[in-house]
Structure 1
Amino acid sequence: MKGFWVSFAYLVSAIFLVLLAHISTAQLTASESRILFQVQKILEYPQVLQGWNNWTNFCYLPYSPSLQIVCSNGHVTELTIIGNQTSPSIHILSERFSIDSFFTVLTKLSNLKVLSLVSLGLWGPLPDKINRFSSLQVLNLSSNSIHGEISPSISSMKSLRSLLLDGNLFKGTVPDLKRLTSLEELDLGNNKLGPEFPSLGNNLVSLVLRNNSLRSKLPSKFNQFDKLQKIDISSNEVSGNIPSALFSLPSIQYVNLADNKLSGSLSVNIRCGSSLTFADISNNLLVGRLPSCIGSNLKSSNRTVLYSGNCLSIRGSKDQHPTSYCKKEEALATKPLEGSQKKSGMKLGLILGIIGGSVVISMLLALIILLILRKTKAERADNYLDRSVTDKSPGHAFPRPNTDTRRVPQTTRLAAIGLPPYRIFTADEIEEATNNFDPSNLMREGSEGQQYKGWIRDGSVVLINCVKLTHKNVTQNHIEVLSNLRHRHLVSVIGHCLVASQDHHQTTSTLVLVCEQFSNGSLRDHLTDWRKKEVLKWPQRMAITIGIARGIQFLHTGLVPGIYGNNIKIEKILLDDSLSAKVSGYNIPLLFNEIDSADNTAEKEDIYQFGVILLEVITGKSITSVNEVEELKDELERSLSEAASVLRGVTDPSIRGSYAYESMRTTVQITISCLNKVPSTRPSIEDVLWNLQYSIQVQENWTSSGNLGLGTRF
């Protein structure tokens, strides 16, 4: 018995020593604890770091998706902090913040292997001392406001495996990253980097450079990137041919080259890699035929290929430009000669300039007298014309210069930046997202199908719409339209799943659309709840209406063919946490009525419905009938011809005192035009947007300068 107690005592002692050793390794050194408190202070005590005190055990914090600290042997090896900044242009840190001081403190955590500082509002140039993190493997500084060039010292961080700097304000040339031989993931998207394509190591698995200022050609040696699975260089101005090897890489799965100036033709003999599931070459200057592995007759359901907006030879396709268009645009996109040719050209120009200078000077002397004599006459003519235009100008909204609305501007195409890549979901993923279509997740059900709330694997909350497609075939064109329904002012489609089933000897298909979900309510909710309404002063309402207009503009002109008949209603305008407008419930082809793109009536009906929303925004009143629209419209129309105080009496009382009269007057004018009873006389969405942008410019200028000449505040 005595031997048993002796053995038991030894066992207890051993367990105690093990626990003591574990606790000692999990406790931070006092110096690193002080560093974390300094980080909290420099970041100005963000919400995610609230609650820290002298008794906080940083190695055993409660789980939070926004904060993670991992310790080893008394040192921090991983620090992840995720804030809530929504835009690089918005500073949530004060002028006292110093990014240099911040990294001076942070680099004292010399054992860090993972550093993620996301959406914290960090601003200023990235300091050279970043390379003091000698052991760092993952550096994620995405979604901040860091500006200037990327520090060349980052090229010496040879342990880096993942470098994520997307969503900042970086500009200039990317430093040489070839020496980062361990680098597998690089995301520099949504910056202003360029014009040269960066020099990269060939061990990359994922490369994202979308929405930058790249204007060079693609490197030809893509065949060396054996491990590359994803490449996204969309929304740049990259020119030249597409390297054939890009689609043939052994590991490649995702290729997005959309919205560039890539030209020439693809080799028809390309053999795509077996893992390739998505390729987007749309909105470039490509000609000729597509290779069979990414062609229009593609039969594989596991590969999505998007190719609209080129000059490809595809029988029956309506979304391609004529070949002459691409040839012309390619010529305009040709870069000027560089290097020695540019220098020799400058020398030649200088010599010619010197020789010709004397001739030009003598000619100028002869012309000066003639120009002086004509000057007075020309000024008189100009003054006469100016008076004539002013006298004949009607008192309604300002007309926008005529443009070809079928040509989609680059700024419109770039508006999907920030959205996750479009993808094809599997049936298992949809079942997992909805918890096997649990009835508790069913949000609504109607003749068009069911709508569920769901959670996809990255943690995002989404809306999942299930629609049965009876007697309809889903074509490649339909898939392209769905994948292009992505804009920052739309509730965007982020993916789909197509499920076929046999029902009474008839094959039916169910199309499952995965869309964004927003929980901040609708514009109507904000205009009817007095507490929310107080937040929506005139500048905020203007920003919201411009967002709606841009969403409608994308539906009308950002796709070929345009989408009309969108049933625009104020309760379908959703607002995100930053009060940015999102148009929902629009006409998705294949699900709802496919409106003929030449149907001008449907286009003008969208304009009328937007006019009703403008009417509610101006007056603050909920409109439920056509009679109410006409009554309020007549009131506004009368107020324009009377004293400014009359217009003030019609506007929402909660915005009085927050608008410049000229800003409100311009918005009222375009609203009345939108509500014209004759559809053909209603303005285009471009005209509406132009007037709203003019209105907010007047408002902003007046607010910033206090110049009453721009408008009187009411």
Structure 2
Amino acid sequence: MIMPIQSCMHFSCHIFLIFLFFLVHTSSQSLNDQEHAVLLKIKQYLEDPSFLSHWNSTSSHCSWAEITCTSGSVTSLTLSHSNINKTIPPFTCDLTNLTHLDFSFNLIPGDFPTPLYNCSKLEYLDLSGNNFDGKVPLDIDHLGANLQYLNLGSTNFHGGVPASIANLKQLRQLRLQFCLLNGSVAAEIDSLSNLEYLDLSSNFLFPKWKLPWNLTKFNKLKVFYLYGTNLVGEIPDNIGDMVALEKLDASKNGLTGGIPSGLFLLKNLTSLYLFENDLSGEIPSVVEALNLVNLDLARNNLTGKIPDDFGKLQQLSWLSLSLNSLSGVIPESLGNLPDLRDFRVFFNKLSGTLPPDFGRYSKLKTFLIASNSFTGKLPENLCYHGMLLNLSVYENNLSGELPKFLGNCSSLLDLKIHENEFSGNIPSGLWTSFNLSNFMVSHNKFTGVLPERLSWNVSRFEISYNQFSGKIPSGVSSWTNLVVFDASKNNFNGSIPKELTALRKLTTLLLDQNQLTGALPSDIISWKSLVTLNLSQNQLSGQIPHAIGQLPVLSQLDLSENELSGQVPSLPSRLTNLNLSYNNLTGRIQREYENSVFAGSFLGNSGLCSDNPALNLALCNSGLQRTSKGSSWSIGSIICLAVVALLLILLASFLFIRFQRKRKHRLDNSWKLTSFQRVNFTESTIVSSMTEQNIIGSGGYGTVYRIDVGSEYVAVKKIWNNRKLNKKLESSFRAEVRILSNIRHTNIVKLMCCISNEDSMLLVYEYHENLSLDKWLHKNVKPGSVNKVVLDWPKRLKIAIGIAQGLSYMHHDCLPPVVHRDVKTSNILLDSQFNAKVADFGLAKLLIKPEELSTMSAVIGSFGYIAPEYVQSTRVSEKVDVFSFGVILLELTTGKEASYGDQHSSLSEWAWRHILIGGNVEELLDKDVVEGSYLDEMCSVFKLGVMCTATLPTSRPSMKDALQILQSLGEPLFYGEKNFGHYYDAIPLLKSSKETRLHVDSE
């Protein structure tokens, strides 16, 4: 029977659809299998990391957390924050439908991964937070026409921003923040008509540049970040045409001229940061940017009044106008803003009374109005909502009693109201305010007595130049966190209570110009942290306690104008400021202080004598009388030490000979190589080349060899023991080396591999032909060993920045942080371009938590570079490295070695001494390199070195702050609103009186 034509056609159609479905299903299955294979290949390429253990052949890759599939095909791959230290797999784009790729915050090295050009559908690419060290490629537009998001931030990319980026027409976000860009910025970027987010911030190496763009074209740009990019010139007037703009940060640059009025007319603007520029003129008076939440114009040269229109900004939360030359009064309407949290106008020329409603309608947290000319009383409602953290109104003409609200303001952290005309008693609740840390009320007219109890958290207690009276209470022993106790020039009487010696954290104790009587407490040995002690101009009697000479960091001592008697105890030679004048002391002056620097230190003591006529004291009878118990003990000690040293040398020689003989008779074929980089040599190549003629150095941890491995040289450090390594120690050592081997940074020397046997460790590093910094800096470069290039100041500054970048990476970007513990010039290697490489991690310590201090069983390091707290307590934090880095800065600027000074002092102490006596910094600089054009930079780096070598760890900057200072030279070093002010406490005599007070508003 013949089938009808219509039925036949229907049957054929059905067959065709079945066949088509079969083809699509087969194709889909084939693609699925292909993508699965590519992902497993990626896992294999990354050496089967544990975080990808769930990637296997049995599970569906679309279910893996790192994968996103669309219609059964891989469209997104995210491998961020995974400690990947290999290059991006070159076959990644075999995932043909990939649109989203994220390898951010790993340790990926090398140049820009151009194989990604094959990802033709890519829309989102994030490579930020890696160790790329090439240039942004000129053909970066090969990433394709679909790309909408590109993030290359927090990498080591250098060079410029190429014009080809403008060909990525769909680009909406371009992020190049925190790189090492040092070239030009393409003007063509303004043709990216879809751009909404542009971030070039924190590229401190940019040469000075002006905005090359027509800002009118950026009519879709919402976020525009240019912080810290060396931007100069004026802000273009047509910035008001950027109608979509929501956030603008052009702070910390060199912008000049006025603020365009159009900027305050942008109705979508929520955040405007222009702080730390050279802007001048008045703030525009017409403000229509009513959505402003954050406004920071601090540290410019702005004049005129605060605009009344600021009172219209109902959403304003942060207002900072500090460090300008603004005048007039604060508009009363600012006190009525409902969302104002932070109000900062310190260091201006403002006057008048303060708006009475500040804090009444908003949850105010910060109120900083210091160093103006305000009069009248403090507003009553600053802590109305109980959220005030920082009250800083010092150096004004405010008067009257403190508002009662302060006694109930339990949130308060900082009270800084010194140098006003306040009077009356301190509100009772304020003494014990639970969170209060800084209690600074000096130079007022306060009365009353000190309480038995003080807030447990107070670390700075400064009440000098007031009218407090009564005794220092015995309850002072409970003030356990006190670091600074300044009660000078009051009416205190009675004796100094022995309970005061319980304050073990004290660094500064000032009780001068009071009416104290009696003897000094004898048990002061607990003041291990005391740096400054001033008890002058009282009626103290009795002898000076012998324990005063045992205080380990005491450097300033003033006991003058009292009634002290007896002999002067043995004092440490480190004292930079000593005054014992006008007492009843007797005996011979200590030899260390018989020089003209201390000419006024002993006057008015008729019983004291000296062999130096310059001291204006009676001359001692004979030089033979100089021998004393103390000096005899010193000679005996020296003899004993010499004998012990000789015995140790003989013992070491015996052990070494024995070891060599034992080694000669033993065939050692047990070497094992553990590689951290791709190497082209074997362990036998290294071991066989460790001959005497290849030795290039030695130190406390072994011998260093330079070995030719064919295509290059490597440096081999041999760490040996004369007996088998303890298995636990060996395991710990290997684990630490393995972690350190993952560090990838251009300013940290590469650890290539570790070779070991049962009693030796060989660490193989990349070799740098310019050797170590000490050989250049201290004239130890051997003729012919390296090119004779003068280590001029630009090179020295480059080296300082490089070291800071390496240490900053270790402290702030490694998890957990790494503390080197032996930073010194001999551990800084220099490549052919004089780029600094931090080397020798033999002492490195990993901190379990960023905030945790680790205690080591013994102090190991190099004299001159060791932080004082490390010597005293073997407690380790990142600030140990900061101290050592500060010593290197002093070496770079002065040309002197870290051990410069006598047997009791070092370069850092020498520098501090000159600063404290008001020495001219310019006279201390290295005469071989100092030039007029670099003089300011050298002075700034010297002062930074002094800052970094502060006695207290808390007074030193972090490495990140130190790096920022070095990268932004040209700005006044010790004058900053945000970053460095609180380090002033470490160097009270480094500045003029006004600069000394600047630190209080560093928040």
TM-score, normalised to structure 1, is 0.45
RCO higher in structure (CA 8 A, sep ≥6): 1
Higher helix share: 1
